[in-house]
Amino acid sequence: MNGFTDRQQLLAKMRNGESLDWDIIVVGGGITGAGVLREARRRGYRVLLLEQQDFSWGTSSRSSKMVHGGLRYLAAGDVKLTRESVVERERLLAEAPGLVDRIAFYFTFRKGLFPGRFAMTVILAIYDFLASIKDHRYCNNEQLLKRFPGLDKTNLKGASYYTDAMVDDSRLVMRVLQDSIDDGAHALNYTKVTNLLLENNKVCGVAIEDVENASAIELRASVVINATGAWADRLRNEVNSEKRIRPLRGSHIIIPKSLYPVSDVMTFLHQDDKRGVYVYPWEGTTVLGTTDLDHAEDLDVEASISNQETDYLLNAFNRQFPHNQLTRADVLSTWAGVRPVISAERGKNPSKERRDHAVWSDNGLITVSGGKLTTFRLIALDAINAAADSLPKPTVVIDDTIFVTPDISAGDLLPNNPQWAQRLLGRYGKKAPKLLEESGANEHISLGETEFCLAECRWAVKYEAVKHLDDLLLRRTRLGMCLPNGGDALYPALKDIFSTERNWDNDRWEEELSRYKAIWNSYYSLPDNP
């Protein structure tokens, strides 16, 4: 199989009374849902994933892109969560190089601020011990300024160096989904679950909305797993009125790499509230993030940065780099994500909330929410284990690797550019050679300061369930976020790709372009300055 589930074919079968019965139906197409799909299929279950928007439309395309153990969780005494996270981090680094890559972090010290050098040394020693590595050291001012030129030297006392990892979170979701589908699972985006089906007060399936045919289809399942993240209470409240999710918004600003190029991550404490702030490289840009605020807006409307958050992040950078002052005019794009945090204390400081996950079982509905991107595999296993009593006996899993290992090396794929080849293998797995074969050499050229290329766009349009232009520019690739003006220079080339691969005529292209511009201006640009 080259691509994703054939949407029209599967829906047609459902309308004809076929493919209506499943062992597990997963609701939610973010990293948790993708992880459940992967682990459920590996255990031999007939499993279907349904997502009301696009895959990774929510939190899983809008995280800080970090695969890490969470130093502040360790500092708060949460050793279990930290241990699980660093072990999973090392697993992901080993299994998916080119998708998950190790990167250096520098935590700066300033006189009078906690934690200082001694406390961080102790914390990092434990951090590395839990990961079975030794990868931290002290860095003096001279060494630090070489990595981050222009850093304010006032009361600067060096930094602690350690490593974590970075990822394109949306591409991580796509890789997990693709490997699952290749193994026999099914996944549909833009397919809304309208309600749960109940029989003798027990959940026995879901009703979905077939928008294109203005009809409802009822699907039965031994177990329904609610992996909708920040939306988890909504579906769960059909069978249990308890509310446990506290949506917290984290926003980020992207500036062109040329304004302040970095190859490592610098983290420091914001002067106003002593929260950690990051400056880091991502996809050929430089990112400032993140915030941590309650998100009271409609979850069905894309989250976006506020003026308050914009000022917070720009001020943080400008205080650290007084000779590299940024203004709103320097901002390339923004993104904001909503974290589903498990909480019973609504008045608690958002930054002090725990980031572990929870699983609830309610009459055949298993709900899982919270947790960290890094530990998605463990979260998925907890959800499946909670459903075990209602499922057939699983197939024994002998190989517990998350990803299907490509049968070609980076050096063999592209001998003249093994680094880019590794990136493709990490992101597309065993599909990488075919991606290159189905595109011309002129489409292998990097676009702007990014490492994305038109070959990836063509592949996504053909094989990765792209329904709208924004799916391609904001999630399958990040060109809409990493190129000026939302990537408008690519419009002619993309119009040709959609015309060739999807038979879009001019009217359809103009409709999609209008939709994309409206989304980008509303949710990925800066808000109007009051």
The alpha-helical segments, DSSP class H, found in 321-401 are 376-386
The conformation of residue 394, written as its DSSP 8-state character, comes to P
Sequence-ordered list of residues with C-beta below 8 angstroms from that of 41, at least 6 positions apart, any chain: 47, 180, 183, 184, 185
Structure confidence at residue 353 (pLDDT): 61
Coil, helix or strand for 248? strand
**Paired tokens of 23:** 């062992």
* pLDDT for position 259: 96
Residue 25, phi then psi, degrees to nearest 5: -110, 125
Q: How confident is the model at residue 441 (pLDDT cuts 50, 70, 90)?
A: very high
Provide the CATH number for the domain formed by 7-59+170-244+354-390 in this structure: 3.50.50.60
Q: Is the pLDDT reported for residue 137 higher than 90?
A: yes
**Which residues lie below 8 Å from residue 506, measured CB to CB, with a gap of 6+?**
none
E strands, 140-191, in order: 156-167, 186-188
Confidence of residue 343 (pLDDT cuts 50, 70, 90): confident
DSSP E strands in 143-244: the ranges are: 156-167, 186-188, 192-199, 202-210, 215-226
pLDDT, residue 76, reads 77
> Are 286 and 279 a contacting pair, CB within 8 Å?
yes
Q: Which of 271, 279, 282, 306 is nearest to 292 (CA)?
A: 306
Ranges of CATH 3.50.50.60 domains, the chain? 7-59+170-244+354-390
Q: What angle do CA 151, 69, 424 make, to 5 degrees?
A: 85
* Average pLDDT estimate for 241-246: 95
Does residue 394 have a cis peptide bond before it, meaning omega lies within 30 degrees of 0? no
pLDDT of residue 1: 57
Secondary structure of 460-505 as H, E, C letters: HHHHCCCCCHHHHHHHHCCHHHHCHHHHHHHHHHHHHHHHHHHCCC
Backbone angles phi, psi at 290, to 5 degrees: -135, 175
Cα separation, 13 vs 446, in Å, equals 41
Which run of H or E residues covers position 310?
A: helix 307-320
Nearest alpha-carbon partner for 221 in 9, 47, 366: 47
Q: How far apart are CA 455 and CA 440, in angstroms?
A: 8
Predicted confidence at residue 298, as pLDDT, reads: 96
User: Which one is predicted more confidently, 16 or 114?
Assistant: 16
Within 10 angstroms of residue 154's Cβ, the number of other Cβ atoms is 9
Backbone angles phi, psi at 183, to 5 degrees: -90, 0
Stretch 349-356: mean pLDDT: 64
Q: How confident is the model at residue 513 (pLDDT cuts 50, 70, 90)?
A: very high
User: Kind of pairing, strands 245-256 and 333-342?
Assistant: antiparallel
Read off the pLDDT of residues 40-98 as tens digits, 9 standing for 90 and up: 999 999 999 999 999 999 999 999 999 998 787 887 788 888 999 999 999 999 999 99
What is the distance, to the nearest Å, from the Cα of residue 14 to the centroid of all Cα atoms in its chain? 30
Residue 349: pLDDT band (50, 70, 90) is low
d(CA 193, CA 234): 11
Q: Which fold has domain 246-342?
A: D-Amino Acid Oxidase; Chain A, domain 2 (3.30.9)
Which residue, 402, 363, 368, 401, is CA-closest to 385? Answer: 368
Q: What confidence tens digit (pLDDT) does each residue in 7-36 have? A: 999 999 999 999 999 999 999 999 999 999
- Per residue in 290-339, pLDDT (tens digit) is 999 999 999 999 999 999 999 999 999 999 999 999 999 999 999 999 99
The answer, yes or no, to whether residue 213 has pLDDT greater than 80, is: no
Rounded Cα–Cα distance for residues 116 and 112 (Å): 8
What is the pLDDT at residue 113?
85
Tell me the pLDDT tens digit for each residue of 379-425: 999 999 999 999 999 999 888 899 999 999 999 999 999 999 999 99
SS3 content of the chain, % helix, strand, coil (to 5): 40, 25, 35
Tokens of 325: 């002052």
Structure tokens at 254: 């992207």
Judged against a pLDDT cut of 60, whether residue 179 lies above it is answered with yes
Residues 255 and 285: beta-carbon distance below 8 Å = yes
Give the other-Cβ count within 10 Å of 319's Cβ.
15
Q: How far, CA to CA in Å, does 312 sit from each of 228, 283, 290, 319?
A: 30, 23, 9, 11
Longest CA–CA separation in the chain, Å: 71
Q: Report the amino acid identity of residue 399.
A: D
CATH code 3.30.9.10 region(s) in the chain: 246-342
